[in-house]
Structure 1
Amino acid sequence: LSYDYRIFSFRLLSTALLATGAVNFHEHNNVREDFSADDSPSRYEYAVTEDFFRNFGSPFHVVVAMKAADGGSLLRPKYLDKVIETEDYLQSKLSVPFDGRQITYSDFCESYCETSDVVSIFLNMYREVHIRKKGNVKLTYPSMDVFGNRIYLANNIFQVELNNKLVV
């Protein structure tokens, strides 16, 4: 019994001693900072990119997922109007006080503003073509052409049902 007690005590003491290292453990998981030389080409390229896009600090974006409460399509007129209204509110009307003034997401979204623009363009074009019966635009998925520019929708719009010609 005393042998078992010594083994148990040794293991308990060893575990406690080795666990003290975890108290001050700080994980570093930034490849650019931790594993790249200070004068590496990737650091220079990243600095040029940050300067070009004026994106100083850690990039982030906000994602808001919407789904109809009844599980149906958000492209039905009543739901579509609410989606457009919500997107507009989140993008430009919801504000927070900062540094003595009110700012909106549009004031600081920088390179991520275009993500919301893609959704807004699609939703408004869909409403014009399919609900208001105006315009003659072909809305395709997973990408569509807008004035000669190809816009990729699949990153922003999900669970899409298509006819046999990839038309929404």
Structure 2
Amino acid sequence: MVLLKSCFSLEPLFCRFFYLFGTFVYRYRWPMVVIPPLLSACFSVGFIWVFDLRVDDPAYVFTPRDARWKRELGTFSRLWPLDENKFIAGKSFETKRFVNILCKAKDGGNVLQPEILDEIDLLNRFISENITVPTTDGRFQLSYQDLCLGYDWKCSANEHIEMFRQMTQVGRVIELTYPKGGNKDTPAYLGTAIGDIKLNKTDGTVQAAKIIQMFFFLKQEPANVRKYSTDFEYAVERFLLHGFESPLIDISFAHYQSIEDGLDENARRFFPNFVTSVIALTIFCIACAFTFRVHNENKQKISIDWIRSKPLVACAGLLTTLFALISSFGLLLLLGIPYNVINTIIPFLIIAVGVDDMFVLNACWSATKEQKL
């Protein structure tokens, strides 16, 4: 005979706790009905600060607080700090205001052709000289020349475009190897300037390229200058989306706020879907909470069994889930906890769990023997 050892289980303790809790709730049912909505209303005051505590920085949203890359980035930043008057592209790791533009020929061919390079140079000059943003007081218009990061007070002007234009004029005088081009006296790194290249098999020089990238690095200190740089980024975005047309080139672009704007757009698109989902779930839950019965004397007559039907349980399950969402988010905001934009999806997940629990309650009620009803 095998003796089974008794094992410890939490289930009896949970059953006992919820039995006592259910008795307590029933005994003080009116306070339990009134107090939770009042608490939710009080905690909902925290939503006043939701925009002040909102955090949409991708580095904060998608990475751990003590991520290894943050320590490594801090080391690089200390060794090569950002100096707006000694800026060298590729040597700074703290650039947080910039615009990158990729240019491609409409026919998909070589962008190192003279007419394509002239068109790209025209776009580069227009952005550098013609796009401006107003100051806060409206007295001045700031262009890229005022907001750029440069070296010895001279802005970076995408000089590689002019180099390619000169190369097409002088032929093979300029040795265009890849990724390091130029000559011994004036070397140039082309790894980030051109892409989708085709090399000459004989000497390894660049024969063709299908993409040229342009860079516009902007100042980010102090805070008011950072705001102007942000305004310039969006001014370039508006021009490229709505004002730029070219018969020769196609473009794609990104700036520092592009990922943040994408997160914002996802949040804005999600909210209408969230409202629609809540309404659909509410209708579905209430409809599923009804039980119908067929009368024995007349099987063609069907009526609602109000003993087994519990639409109020369905409504209570949805309401308690909404109260929990409002109370938890509101309390955290009252405590000053930053609101991560990725948490926008959480309410739908919590409501889904609450609906599942509500169906469990209704299923338990429906499974009760009729003699006990």
TM-score norm. by structure 2 comes to: 0.30
Residue 143 of structure 2 corresponds to: 104
The CA deviation at 1:153 is 1.4
Residue 19 of structure 2 corresponds to: none
Distance 1:60 1:67, change over 3 A: same
Q: Determine which structure has more spread, i.e. the larger CA radius of gyration.
A: 2
Q: Choose from 147, 160, 167 the match for 1:122.
A: 160
Q: Choose from 201, 205, 210 the match for 1:167.
A: 205
The CA deviation at 1:86 is 0.8
Seq. identity, %: 22
SS of residue matched to 2:101: coil
For the 8 Å contact 1:68–1:79, the answer to whether it is kept is: yes
Q: Which structure ranks higher in relative contact order (CA pairs < 8 Å, sequence separation ≥ 6)?
A: 2
Residue 133 of structure 1 corresponds to: 170
Distance 1:129 1:157, change over 3 A: closer
Aligned-partner Cα distance in 2 for 1:48–1:71: 39
SS of residue matched to 2:195: coil
Q: Choose from 49, 68, 71 the match for 2:108.
A: 71
What runs of 5+ residues in structure 1 fail to find an aligned partner? 1-16
Aligned-partner Cα distance in 2 for 1:70–1:156: 20
The CA deviation at 1:163 is 0.7
Aligned-partner Cα distance in 2 for 1:166–1:134: 16
TM-score norm. by structure 1 comes to: 0.59
Aligned pairs for 1:15-164 (under 5 A) are 29=60, 42=74, 46=78, 49-50=81-82, 52-53=83-84, 59-99=96-136, 100-110=139-149, 117=157, 120-130=158-168, 132-133=169-170, 136-145=173-182, 148-164=185-201
The residue type paired with residue 77 of structure 1 is P
For the 8 Å contact 1:143–1:150, the answer to whether it is kept is: yes
Structure with greater strand share of residues:
2
For the 8 Å contact 2:175–2:183, the answer to whether it is kept is: no
For the 8 Å contact 1:144–1:152, the answer to whether it is kept is: yes
